[in-house]
Structure 1
Amino acid sequence: VLTPEEREVGVILADIGGGTTDIAVFKDGSIYHTSIIPVAGYQVTSDISIGLGLPFEVAEAMKRKYGNVYPDVLTKSQESTLTVEDGHSVSYRELCEIIKARMEELLRLILLEMPDSNYASLAPAGLVLTGGTSNLTGLEALARQTIRIQTRIGEPMGVYGITDILHDPAHSTGVGLLLWGTRHQGKPAWEAKKRNGIFDGFMTLLKKFFGV
């Protein structure tokens, strides 16, 4: 997800998962600061469900299929379009407005978790967003507009010979664990901590799932 250069000069990594957003600041090649925010994809779906009066499952499906954080640039035809899922119809603009509001909040919360308000010095490489919720259309541009720092969407790196679906930001954590385990296999204890049975089992499941 991160390049060696980003980790060295300073970068903020935010993994937007289902229930939490996990934050890590890298500086001089090492982790400098970590934090967890209890706001992520679940809260976005909950907002849609409550705001539009939809069952949670339908709200989740609409978020995944139509999620866009830039309703201001919708065309006239898009504004009048009703998205339909499982017999439910809503305004595309209303759906996008709800998503945008929650994501703007999350982006500001990420900066509030930083140990230093001088973001240009702390993280010259900016912000890297990953995790399933980072797939929302327009999120990269919204982040640049909302918090005024360089932002990109992070995808798993160093994965070859397997399906392109693994380059989806939603799989960043799983792919990262798989690569870590593969690179540390057979190394002595002083170089890499010995994995316990739970981790070994998890690695086995990952390898079977990814076919490696």
Structure 2
Amino acid sequence: MSAENNTVSEQQNQLNDDWCFWYCPRFGHKNYINEDYSKNLKLLGECSTVEQFFSNYIYIQKPTNIESQNKVLFFRKGCTPLWEEWKCGGCWILLVQSDMYKNLNKIWEDLLLGCIGENFGNSNIIGVVLSIRRNRKAVIEIWMRDRDEEQKIKAGEELRKILDLKPDNLIFYYKDHVRSLTEGSTMKGSMGYQFVGTPVPTPMITNAINNATIEEIKNLEDLDI
């Protein structure tokens, strides 16, 4: 039996890195604090092969079936999804709403496959977060371990390619984790980046969208961790 199991294991497709699925419920009250978040963060499963990834993935609800104010997280093993653990890092933020929401399941799946396939091109990407909001809205975060500007812009470009999003009128937001930790929010005060036509469509900051507006934050019930 042991020999057979070893043979099966050898035939599986190893990932370049081990990954973990996490889950955390959100709270709808203003006293939601980081301590609540860390205590409620639950490990769902780990994967070191493609087969293990799908054996976990198929048992997790599709994003459009997840109740609002809940999060699913997918991080490299050993990388805890807490702001205070990555004070030198930051994250890209994609707001999924309106027509884009219809493709949320595919967007999330493509992003997960991009992670295990190392399509971002480097290990600066430590994980991704899916946060389900009310009224057919969702927030997706792509976490980076450091704030290197070149790596940040490259990750934004690769994110657009992985999700096959057209650059026209596409806006990503970005925020350093140390600011999120101080302000208790991912969206509040995040910087807006719009794609411009350099040799390849590249996310560049513009004065017109330099901050996530108060109305956007209100619409997304931003009691965020």
TM-score (norm 1): 0.28
Q: Per residue, is there more strand in 1 or in 2?
A: 2
Which has the larger Rg?
A: 1
TM-score, normalised by the number of residues in structure 2: 0.27
> Which one has a larger percent helix, Structure 1 or Structure 2?
1
